[in-house]
Amino acid sequence: MPQLTPDSLVFMGVAGSGKSTLAAAVAALIGRPWLEGDDFHSAANRLKMAQGQALTTADRADWLACLSEQLQVQAKPVLLTCSALRRAYRDQLRQAAPGLRFAFLDIDKAEAGHRVAARGRHFFSASLVDSQFETLESPVGEPGVLRLDALRPLPELSAQVGDWLRQASHPA
């Protein structure tokens, strides 16, 4: 079996797209550690989102700096979940980890809203889904990005990501 690319990978997209679910499945499939980006939000950011207030670029600055640092200190390539909604956010992460790849979970607003509302105990308010779509700058066309249909079955998505990471290491 071909080796995996030595690059770290960010699972990105709006809230409810399935970033954490897919990251956990791929981590189990390929044996890489994964970091839950939500775990690195400040208490103030969590409270703001729980109250239905969208984060600003300024609110996200320390969070993105922390995630960038996490990418730099890892001894081996990791999987990371991060909304990475704007190109500038993705570029900041790329600077921290040259070769960084992104798996973009593409989903429509209605389905994302449904999924977020069904979560139950999570700090992210379902009322923020609209703001996520307003902030999103699609990464399609950027280098090192795999667009995934977030509505496809989890095993199919996991296989797609695993195949993509192997193909990236050994292009045809």
Which of 64, 62, 63, 45 shows the shortest CA–CA distance to 54? 45
Q: Quick check: 104 pLDDT over 80?
A: yes
Q: Look up the pTM and report it.
A: 0.90
CA distances (Å), origin 93, targets 81, 83, 103, 108? 12, 12, 14, 25
136 vs 40: CA distance, rounded Å? 20
Q: In this predicted structure, what is the pLDDT of residue 172?
A: 47
Domains of the chain: 9-169 (3.40.50.300)
Q: Is 140 exposed, middle or buried (0-12, 13-18, 19+ CB in 10 A)?
A: exposed
Mean pLDDT, to the nearest integer, of 116-133? 72
Looking at mean pLDDT, say which of 105-119, 124-138, 148-162 comes out highest.
148-162
Mean pLDDT, to the nearest integer, of 106-112? 94
Q: Quick check: 123 pLDDT over 70?
A: no
Render the burial of 80-99: b for 16+ CB within 10 Å, e for the rest. bbbbbbbeebbebbbebbee
Percent of the chain with pLDDT over 90: 63
